[in-house]
């Protein structure tokens, strides 16, 4: 949470404004109640017929299959389009202008004269400027498309606007899967703009990748498909289960890594991942990978993106180099996270940049072209660069880098050093620009460049081995991925023999990065974007620093007066009273708060704002509203019965309970609210909603940073 103070979140806090009432952060976000959705699904299931239950059991598998298939189709279109767009900066294919250079020249790869079908735009002095002009136009087009989704989001630091689909979308998806709602983030329009914007952003040559956006694209596909099935359309909890499965498919098609995709969804994305979600994710990822293999965007007939086959292996002495690569990758990751966070907080707050984000994208694309174009290594696309770093040079190798390493090792080292520093700098200023982009490929690029540089100094082993391990270490330092990353790396390369070096480098990189910077890039991105997220482990660590009790979360007196309804012995109140209370809730703008029902200072129940609004709109002629029925029939003709909407068994905590109790209840059970009672007497003294807890924990974390 930013340094600016919001309304105090403690028992004796005063309202931020007497006229408006207390304001909490994240007003525009709503939350779901996982327990409520579970009960609703159970009630629906009990009323199904025997035939309907058969279809019910098949809906999840059918939805997973459709998501996997359509995700692979979208990925195929993006892959082949992006490859062509990237190469159009240099020239075009005379036989088919829509083909990229690799597809156009496939038949001529082994010919001495090169490819006669590929035509450069120009061979003169204008080649470089033309390359920069086309790249800049790509960047501006991508940013322009992205800015069409410009939307005002709730920011605690009073920023007035933000863009919804920048970056990879992973921070927002984590927020959604943790129980918050971001409206319009997973629709078809966003899917189209994300896919199209990613094509031109990657095609511009900027230090970013399309693999991260694939996760957002797959989540959009999952959300769209889920609407076709009542089981998921009408239940927010079940909908998030299917979105978790779709995220696995996204990374599966991004890297051709179906198992790694499942583990990535479990380790990095989802907060709720039971066994049935694991199996659905596995199946969804399988269908996506199988479909992509048949579509064959790489033209190899294989899923492996960076297939390698090393004739040499590593010795026990090389473990020292793997540890060194881990330390270096962790240090790079921590430095990148800190630098990118400061760049986003300082440079992007400059009025000109904040108000004209397309200008920033244009400047970054221009700087990227100027710095990367002179270097034949960094001039390549991100995927091609990694392939060139992993290659094992032989006597017959015709690869440019192999030729330089053989004929002029000093020049090869200089190009690699230049590439490392260029990638580190450009990735820092690029990530977070107003274009769809990911951090995975740029991190792998930088790590592979450094790993290859280290490998040139190792005798008896291929430099490509160290490039491969260095790439994994750098990505681990940036994202703090562990198990999923290790699996992804051997699925990417097909080299199961090098799992042990990957494990060593990844673990060392994570330990190093955690010691230098506690947060990974996705967590920091959530802070920059201002998205609420309840990480149970981080929250408990923050709570321990304060030795806090639940009573610190009790709302101010004014807030409690606004949300408390005092019931009579018959459980009824006047309609005018409830409409006045509802107006106060609307004025606060929380959208998912509610009213607590009290009788003689004792808790009787809780009714949410949405259900209260729906219930009051049913019968306008009733002057009295019954909220607690106690099993009795409502006989008064002028009384509206809303007892069916009341939670008469809300979760309750004592004011002296440790803060960790509240964190576990909200995090593990997915609650929206918890009632707080006084020690010994049991009388109600407060109601804590999820947003209040998140805001309090964010204030602790910001004060300790």
Q: What is the C-alpha to C-alpha distance for residues 49 and 557, in angstroms, rounded to an integer?
A: 50
Tell me the average pLDDT across 558-581. Answer: 88
Given a contact cutoff of 8 angstroms between Cβ atoms, the answer to whether 231 and 60 are in contact is: yes
For residue 8, pLDDT beyond 50: no
Looking at the DSSP assignment, which residues form a beta bridge with residue 595?
607
Provide Rg for the chain, Cα atoms.
28
For residue 174, pLDDT beyond 70: yes
Given a contact cutoff of 8 angstroms between Cβ atoms, the answer to whether 229 and 63 are in contact is: yes
Tokens found for residue 292: 């992509």
- Please write down the HEC assignment for all residues of 423-485: HHHHHHHHCCCCCECECHHHHHHHHHHHHHHHHCCCCCCCHHHHHHHHHHHHHHHHHCCCHHH
Domain ranges, residue 95: 61-295
Residues 571 and 601 in one domain: yes
* Residue 180, phi then psi, degrees to nearest 5: -95, 160
Domain boundary among 502, 529, 556: 529
Segment among 49-58, 293-302, 325-334, 524-533 with least mean pLDDT: 49-58
Look at residues 11, 6, 8, 12 and name the one whose alpha carbon lies nearest to residue 26: 6
Tell me the average pLDDT across 673-690. Answer: 91
Residues 597 and 654 in one domain: yes
Tokens found for residue 561: 């007066």
Q: Is residue 626 assigned to a domain?
A: yes
Residues in the chain: 705
Residues 394 and 479 in one domain: yes
Q: What is the pLDDT of residue 5?
A: 34
Q: What is the C-alpha to C-alpha distance for residues 597 and 614, in angstroms, rounded to an integer?
A: 18
Q: Is residue 272 assigned to a domain?
A: yes
For residue 650, pLDDT beyond 70: yes
Q: What is the C-alpha to C-alpha distance for residues 445 and 505, in angstroms, rounded to an integer?
A: 16
For residue 157, pLDDT beyond 80: no
Q: What is the pLDDT of residue 95?
A: 84
Residues 340 and 478 in one domain: yes
pLDDT band at 150; cut points 50, 70, 90? low
Query: Over the stretch 115-140, which tens digit does the pLDDT of each residue have?
Result: 778 888 888 777 888 889 999 999 99
pLDDT band at 611; cut points 50, 70, 90? confident
Residues 517 and 579 in one domain: no
Residues 71 and 194 in one domain: yes
Residue in the structure block whose two tokens are 């991190």? 443
Residue in the structure block whose two tokens are 């400059």? 350
Q: What is the C-alpha to C-alpha distance for residues 93 and 100, in angstroms, rounded to an integer?
A: 7
Residues 446 and 583 in one domain: no
State whether residue 44 is helix, strand or coil: helix
Tell me the average pLDDT across 418-425. Answer: 94
* Residue 207, phi then psi, degrees to nearest 5: -80, 75
Q: What is the C-alpha to C-alpha distance for residues 232 and 60, in angstroms, rounded to an integer?
A: 9
Per the structure, the count of domains in the chain is 3
Residues 427 and 560 in one domain: no
State whether residue 564 is helix, strand or coil: strand
Beta strands in 318-442 (DSSP E): none
Segment among 28-42, 249-263, 270-284 with least mean pLDDT: 28-42
Alpha helices, DSSP H only, in 27-49? 34-46
Q: What is the C-alpha to C-alpha distance for residues 455 and 354, in angstroms, rounded to an integer?
A: 42
Q: What is the pLDDT of residue 3?
A: 37
Residues 412 and 475 in one domain: yes
Q: Is residue 41 assigned to a domain?
A: no
* Residue 626, phi then psi, degrees to nearest 5: -95, 125
Q: List strands edge to edge, sheet with 684-689.
A: 652-654, 673-677, 684-689
What percent of the chain stands above pLDDT 70? 89
Q: What is the pLDDT of residue 519?
A: 86
State whether residue 37 is helix, strand or coil: helix
Query: Over the stretch 446-481, which tens digit does the pLDDT of each residue have?
Result: 999 999 999 998 887 889 999 999 999 999 999 999
Segment among 463-472, 498-507, 539-548, 620-629 with least mean pLDDT: 539-548
Q: What is the largest CA-CA distance in the chain?
A: 97
Look at residues 560, 566, 620, 568 and name the one whose alpha carbon lies nearest to residue 593: 560
Residues 621 and 499 in one domain: no
DSSP per-residue string spanning 617-640: TT-TT-SEEE---TT-----TTEE
Residues 640 and 681 in one domain: yes
Q: What is the C-alpha to C-alpha distance for residues 359 and 434, in angstroms, rounded to an integer?
A: 10
Neighbours of 112 (CB within 10 A): 6
Q: What is the C-alpha to C-alpha distance for residues 417 and 395, in angstroms, rounded to an integer?
A: 24
State whether residue 674 is helix, strand or coil: strand
Neighbours of 614 (CB within 10 A): 12
Q: What is the C-alpha to C-alpha distance for residues 366 and 83, in angstroms, rounded to an integer?
A: 20
Q: What is the C-alpha to C-alpha distance for residues 596 and 675, in angstroms, rounded to an integer?
A: 8
Q: What is the CATH number of the domain that holds 242?
A: 1.10.3080.10
Tell me the average pLDDT across 288-303. Answer: 87
Q: Is residue 322 assigned to a domain?
A: yes
Of residues 619 and 123, more confidently modeled: 123
Residues 519 and 563 in one domain: no
Beta strands in 51-110 (DSSP E): 91-93
Q: What is the C-alpha to C-alpha distance for residues 128 and 354, in angstroms, rounded to an integer?
A: 30
Domain boundary among 529, 562, 597: 529
Domain boundary among 529, 557, 587: 529
Query: Over the stretch 322-332, which tens digit does the pLDDT of each residue have?
Result: 999 999 999 99
Half-sphere exposure of 501 (CA within 13 A, CB side): 28
**What contacts 24+ positions apart, CB below 8 Å, involve 318-323?**
318/458, 318/461, 318/501, 319/501, 319/504, 321/454, 321/455, 321/458, 321/466, 322/469, 322/501, 322/504, 322/505, 322/508, 323/504, 323/505, 323/508
Q: Is residue 362 assigned to a domain?
A: no
Q: Is residue 6 assigned to a domain?
A: no
Given a contact cutoff of 8 angstroms between Cβ atoms, the answer to whether 477 and 512 are in contact is: yes
- Please write down the HEC assignment for all residues of 175-202: HHHCCEECCCCCCHHHHHHHHHHHHHHH
DSSP per-residue string spanning 484-522: HHHHHHHHHH--GGGHHHHHHHHHHHHHHHHHH-SS-HH
- List, in order, residues 6 or more apart from 258 with CB less than 8 Å away: 248, 252, 282, 285, 286, 288, 289, 303, 491
Q: What is the C-alpha to C-alpha distance for residues 699 and 693, in angstroms, rounded to an integer?
A: 10
Q: What is the C-alpha to C-alpha distance for residues 576 and 490, in angstroms, rounded to an integer?
A: 66
Tell me the average pLDDT across 681-696. Answer: 88
Tokens found for residue 234: 């009408």
Q: Could you tell me the pTM of the whole model?
A: 0.87
pLDDT band at 320; cut points 50, 70, 90? very high
Tokens found for residue 85: 């767009």
| Averaged confidence pLDDT in the chain | 84
Neighbours of 661 (CB within 10 A): 15
Query: Over the stretch 495-514, which tens digit does the pLDDT of each residue have?
Result: 888 999 999 999 999 999 99
Q: Is residue 45 assigned to a domain?
A: no
Of residues 241 and 273, more confidently modeled: 241
Q: Is residue 489 assigned to a domain?
A: yes
Q: What is the C-alpha to C-alpha distance for residues 703 and 417, in angstroms, rounded to an integer?
A: 39
What percent of the chain stands above pLDDT 90? 39
Q: What is the pLDDT of residue 16?
A: 36
Core vs surface per residue 679-696: b (16+ CB within 10 A) or e: eeeeebbbbbbbbbbbbb
For residue 6, pLDDT beyond 70: no
Q: What is the CATH number of the domain that holds 575?
A: 3.10.580.10
Fill in the DSSP letter of residue 49. -
């Amino acid at each position: 949470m930013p340094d600016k103070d919001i309304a105090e979140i403690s028992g004796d806090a005063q309202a931020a404004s007497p006229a408006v009432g207390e304001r909490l952060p994240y007003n525009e976000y709503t939350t779901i109640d996982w327990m409520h959705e579970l009960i609703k699904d159970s009630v629906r299931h009990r009323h199904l017929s025997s035939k309907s239950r058969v279809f019910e059991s098949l809906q999840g598998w059918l939805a997973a299959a459709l998501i996997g298939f359509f995700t692979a189709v979208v990925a195929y279109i993006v892959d082949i389009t992006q490859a062509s767009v990237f190469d159009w900066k240099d020239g075009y294919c005379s036989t088919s202008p829509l083909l990229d250079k690799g597809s156009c020249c496939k038949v001529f790869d082994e010919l001495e004269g090169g490819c006669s079908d590929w035509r450069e735009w120009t061979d003169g002095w204008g080649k470089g400027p033309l390359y920069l002009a086309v790249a800049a136009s790509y960047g501006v087009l991508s940013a322009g498309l992205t800015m069409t989704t410009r939307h005002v989001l709730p920011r605690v630091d009073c920023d007035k606007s933000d863009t919804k689909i920048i970056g990879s979308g992973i921070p927002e998806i984590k927020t959604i899967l943790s129980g918050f709602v971001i409206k319009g983030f997973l629709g078809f329009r966003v899917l189209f703009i994300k896919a199209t914007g990613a094509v031109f952003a990657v095609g511009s040559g900027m230090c970013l990748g399309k693999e991260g956006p694939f996760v957002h694209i797959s989540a959009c596909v999952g959300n769209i498909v889920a609407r076709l099935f009542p089981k998921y359309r009408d239940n927010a909890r079940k909908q998030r289960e299917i979105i978790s499965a779709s995220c696995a498919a996204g990374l599966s098609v991004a890297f051709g890594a179906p198992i790694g995709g499942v583990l990535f969804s479990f380790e990095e994305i989802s907060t709720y991942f039971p066994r049935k979600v694991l199996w659905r994710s596995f199946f969804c990822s399988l269908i996506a990978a199988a479909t992509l293999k048949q579509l064959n965007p790489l033209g190899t007939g294989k899923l492996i993106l960076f297939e390698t086959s090393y004739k040499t292996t590593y010795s026990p002495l090389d473990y020292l180099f793997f540890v060194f690569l881990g330390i270096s990758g962790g240090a790079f990751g921590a430095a990148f996270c800190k630098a990118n966070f400061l760049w986003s907080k300082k440079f992007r707050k400059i009025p000109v940049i904040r108000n004209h984000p397309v200008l920033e994208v244009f400047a970054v694309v221009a700087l990227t072209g100027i710095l990367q174009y002179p270097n034949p290594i960094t001039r390549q696309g991100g995927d091609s660069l990694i392939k060139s770093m992993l290659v094992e040079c032989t006597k017959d190798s015709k690869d440019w880098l192999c030729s330089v390493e053989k004929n002029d090792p000093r020049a090869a080292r200089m190009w690699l050093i230049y590439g490392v520093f260029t990638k580190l700098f450009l990735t820092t200023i690029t990530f977070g620009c107003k274009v769809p982009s990911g951090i995975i490929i740029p991190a792998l690029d930088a790590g592979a460049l450094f790993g290859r540089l280290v490998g040139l100094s190792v005798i008896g082993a291929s430099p490509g081995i160290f490039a491969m391990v260095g790439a994994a270490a750098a990505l681990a330092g940036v994202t703090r991925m562990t198990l999923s990353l290790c699996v992804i790396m051997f699925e990417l390369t097909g080299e199961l023999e090098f799992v042990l070096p990957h494990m060593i480098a990844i673990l060392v990189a994570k330990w190093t990065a955690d010691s230098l910077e506690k947060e990974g890039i996705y967590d920091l991105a959530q802070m920059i974007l201002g998205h609420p997220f309840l990480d149970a482990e981080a929250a408990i660590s923050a709570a321990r620093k304060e030795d806090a009790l639940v009573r610190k979360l009790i709302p101010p007196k004014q807030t409690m007066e606004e949300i408390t309804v005092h019931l009579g012995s018959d459980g009824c109140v006047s309609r005018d009273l409830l409409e006045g209370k509802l107006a106060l809730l609307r004025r606060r703008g929380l959208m998912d708060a509610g009213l607590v029902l009290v009788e003689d200072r004792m808790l009787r129940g809780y009714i949410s704002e949405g259900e209260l609004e729906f219930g009051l709109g049913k019968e306008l002629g009733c002057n009295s509203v019954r909220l607690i029925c106690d099993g009795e029939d409502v006989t008064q003709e002028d009384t509206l019965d809303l007892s069916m909407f009341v939670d008469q068994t809300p979760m309750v905590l004592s004011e002296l309970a440790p803060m960790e109790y509240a964190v576990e209840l909200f995090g593990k059970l997915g609650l929206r609210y918890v009632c707080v009672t006084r020690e010994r007497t049991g009388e109600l003294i407060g109601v804590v909603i999820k947003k209040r807890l998140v805001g309090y924990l964010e204030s602790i974390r910001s004060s300790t940073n």
